[in-house]
Chain A
Amino acid sequence: MSTSLPNNRTAALAAAAFVLLLGGVALAFYWVPNAPLEGFRQRIFYIHVPVALTAYACFGWAAWKALRLLSTRDQRYDLESYTAVHMGVIFGILTLVTGSIWARTSWGVWWSWGERQLVLFLVLFLFYSAYFMLRYSVEPGPRRASMSAVYALFGVVLIPVSFLAIRLAEGLIHPVVFDRDIGSNLAGSQLLTFVVCLAGTLALAASLYGNELTGKRIDERLRELREALE
């Protein structure tokens, strides 16, 4: 039973993350000019949106691994799916925090129900937190792996459905006061900075995932060894 991410690949990803993220943050602080309308505070965009997109990518990866588990019944995908959800939740929390800071700089409030991305991430955070509750309260084994996989699949389907719901809810519950277009009208320098930061964050998530997965697999092997020796 080998890891799905051989450790030289993880090391390479970590090195890539180092270069890209360091470069990206440098670009975001030193090179990119101030946004014409919003000014300096727009620079949060270069960390907030990559982190959000990375969280989505993690959840998508978890759903893919979940699908592989259900179709092949190969148990090694369980740990991979679980680790991906774990990473997704970490980046989800980061999204909520950076988003909240952005809301504070833009509108003076730490939270706004009118901010679609934030609300979506809150719902997803609740959903995937329940994932952990599910795992902790079921005996380890193929049954738990299957249930977790089904739940992870539901999560990824929930993302667009929730987004649609949140959009529909806007007319009902809170007046849409602030309309912000993220990602449209990006000037060349802004686009480059964004892409570099995005690539760096994705590489970071991938290398963290590889590390975490290796750690968990070692745990497993040690447990097996211990049972064999005692």
Chain B
Amino acid sequence: MTSAERYVTAAYLVVLGVLLAYLVIYAFKLSRLEREVGELAELARRRREG
């Protein structure tokens, strides 16, 4: 691979990298949201029964 090809590919890879990083961060966020919804559902159920 020539030097130019390396750099061009690197540029596109950076964009891909940021996208994938965003995906990972978002996955964590989603699992946190899921946990919170579960906690709130629990709270609501206790409220209803109590």
A positions within 8 Å CB-CB of B: 25, 39-41, 43-44, 47-48, 51, 90, 93-94, 97-98, 101-102, 104-105, 204, 208, 211, 215, 218-219, 222, 225-226, 229-230
Contact of A40 among B8, B19, B40 (CB under 8 A): B8
Collect the chain B residues with CB atoms within 8 Å of residue A39's CB.
4
A44 to B12, CA, bound (A): 8
Least CB distance, B44 to chain A, in whole angstroms = 6
Once the chains bind, are B11 and A98 in contact (CB under 8 Å)? Answer: yes
B20-50 near A? 1/0 per residue, CB < 8 Å: 0010001001100100110010011001000
Is chain B's interface secondary structure helix, strand, loop, or mixed overall?
Answer: helix
Collect the chain A residues with CB atoms within 8 Å of residue B19's CB.
204
Known contacts A47-B15, A208-B22, A222-B37; A229 and B7 CB within 8 A of each other: no
Once the chains bind, are B26 and A98 in contact (CB under 8 Å)? Answer: no
Number of chain B residues close to chain A: CB under 8 A: 24
A204 to B15, CA, bound (A): 11
Once the chains bind, are B36 and A222 in contact (CB under 8 Å)? Answer: yes
Contact of B8 among A44, A204, A215 (CB under 8 A): A44
Least CB distance, B26 to chain A, in whole angstroms = 7
Least CB distance, A224 to chain B, in whole angstroms = 10
Known contacts A51-B15, A226-B40, A229-B40; A40 and B2 CB within 8 A of each other: yes
A207 to B12, CA, bound (A): 19
A111 to B29, CA, bound (A): 35
Known contacts A44-B8, A215-B29; A229 and B14 CB within 8 A of each other: no
Contact of B14 among A41, A97, A104, A211 (CB under 8 A): A97
With A43-B8, A229-B44 given, name 18 new contacts (CB 8 A).
A40-B5, A41-B7, A41-B8, A44-B8, A47-B12, A90-B22, A94-B18, A97-B14, A98-B15, A101-B10, A102-B7, A105-B8, A215-B30, A218-B33, A219-B33, A222-B33, A229-B40, A229-B47
Collect the chain A residues with CB atoms within 8 Å of residue B33's CB.
215, 218-219, 222
Least CB distance, B40 to chain A, in whole angstroms = 5
